[in-house]
Amino acid sequence: QVQLVESGGGLVQPGGSLRLSCAAATPGSIFSRAMLGWYRQAPGKQRELVATISSGHSTNYADFAKGRFTISRDNAKNTVYLQMNSLKPEDTAVYYCNGRNYDSGRDYWGQGTQVTVSS
């Protein structure tokens, strides 16, 4: 079973920045053969897409993320990142990383990391 481990969440002030990381900790993982993404879920709301990045580094962003967030990946480190700038209180949510393996079609999720934007 693929294990995804997230880090980088925390409390920041409006306008601040965070960089989330999500690493595939499973030995021998085929990280490079997966579509990677970040999702978030605020209290009382549906989980929503933040951004995705393909194995070819093609990216897709939700409208709220465009111009503020940047998704990237480092296959050598088995890690996907989400750089979050100009954070707003409405960005407060639990952020989850996701990997979808191209070969199996299976989804793998991190445990979620809390991001709180508040003064």
pLDDT at 29: 65
Using 50, 70 and 90 to split pLDDT, how confident is the model at 41? Answer: very high
- Model pLDDT for residues 91-113, shown as the tens digit of each residue: 999 999 999 999 889 899 999 99
Instruction: Report which DSSP code applies to 32.
Output: G
What stretches of the chain adopt beta strand conformation (E)? 4-7, 10-12, 18-24, 34-41, 48-53, 59-61, 69-74, 79-84, 93-101, 107-109, 113-117
Predicted pLDDT at 27:
60
